[in-house]
């Protein structure tokens, strides 16, 4: 999910195929200009563990502006606090609803958040979700977003979703996830120490019992003051 994504009007024809991706000729909806649409399947990203490679590619290309270098659209920089808090509030409300239904998503991340044509946030992909009143033991989700209790193979509950809210909050504000590392083992190690995000949003805390509850997130002064509630869906 990105705030400055372009909208594709229609896919015209295939242009090429690589090991991990396919490229199509497409038309942008608003100004009708022609673009190359690069499609990488989530299964390929996970199978070949190219998350970091893909992120580096996007971060490099988005920073380049030259008439002989293809411009990258669909990825913007960090969000302002108003945007970040608005999305966090929307996501918190959605997760609160899921948790009331005893559903733990377990794979909240940027790739599983979309914006509709009105800019409303939508959670997608419940492939790792579980509906249960008891704690679970399956290690699942995406490496950069794993809560410490999962990393340490301990039982977990809905608090793993609260942890990923902290990861996303950091990523919205600073572009990269807080525990990103070159190797899986380095990422695991970096998740283990105590970590508190931005001093006032205590979500990335190793002790899951001390993480902010979803209700307290919605009532938090930073969220209340900064979020644009006119863009939040009502139930």
The answer on whether 47 is annotated among ligand-binding residues is no
- CA dihedral sign, ordered 211, 217, 223, 227: positive
Q: How many CB atoms lie within 10 A of CB 19?
A: 7
C-alpha to C-alpha distance for 201 and 205, rounded to whole angstroms: 10
What ranges in the chain are assigned the alpha helix state H?
42-48, 51-62, 81-100, 148-151, 159-174, 184-191, 214-219, 221-226
The answer on whether 122 is annotated among ligand-binding residues is no
The answer on whether 3 is annotated among ligand-binding residues is no
Task: Tell me how far the alpha carbon of residue 185 is from its chain's centroid.
Answer: 21
The answer on whether 206 is annotated among ligand-binding residues is no
103 bridge partner residues: 131
The answer on whether 125 is annotated among ligand-binding residues is yes
C-alpha to C-alpha distance for 104 and 99, rounded to whole angstroms: 6
List 107, 157, 186, 228, catalytic entry? 107
What are the residues whose beta carbons fall under 8 Å from the beta carbon of 185, sequence distance 6 or more?
none
- Asked about 107 being catalytic, the answer comes back as yes
Return the active site residues. Answer: 107
Q: Which residues are annotated as a binding site?
A: 19, 38, 111-112, 125
Residue positions forming the annotated binding site for ATP: 19, 38, 111-112, 125
């Amino acid at each position: 999910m990105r705030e400055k994504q372009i909208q594709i009007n229609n896919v015209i024809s295939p242009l090429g195929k690589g090991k991990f991706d396919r490229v199509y000729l497409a038309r942008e909806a608003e100004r009708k200009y022609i673009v190359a649409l690069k499609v990488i399947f989530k299964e390929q990203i996970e199978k070949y563990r190219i998350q970091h490679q893909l992120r580096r590619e996007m971060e490099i290309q988005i920073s380049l502006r030259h008439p002989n270098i293809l411009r990258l659209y669909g990825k913007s920089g960090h969000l302002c606090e108003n945007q970040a808090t608005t999305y966090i509030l929307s996501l918190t409300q959605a997760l609160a609803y899921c948790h009331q239904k005893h559903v733990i998503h377990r794979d909240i991340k940027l790739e599983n958040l979309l914006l509709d044509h009105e800019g409303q946030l939508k959670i997608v992909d419940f492939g790792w979700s579980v509906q249960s009143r008891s704690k679970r033991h399956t290690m699942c989700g995406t490496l950069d977003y794993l809560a410490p209790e999962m990393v340490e193979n301990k039982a977990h509950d809905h608090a793993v979703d609260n942890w990923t809210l902290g990861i996303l909050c950091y990523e919205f504000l600073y572009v990269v996830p807080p525990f990103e590392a070159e190797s899986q083992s380095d990422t695991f190690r970096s998740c283990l120490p105590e970590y508190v995000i931005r001093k006032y949003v205590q979500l990335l805390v190793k002790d899951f019992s001390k993480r902010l509850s979803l209700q307290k997130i919605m009532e938090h002064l930073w969220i209340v003051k900064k979020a644009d509630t006119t863009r939040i869906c009502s139930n």
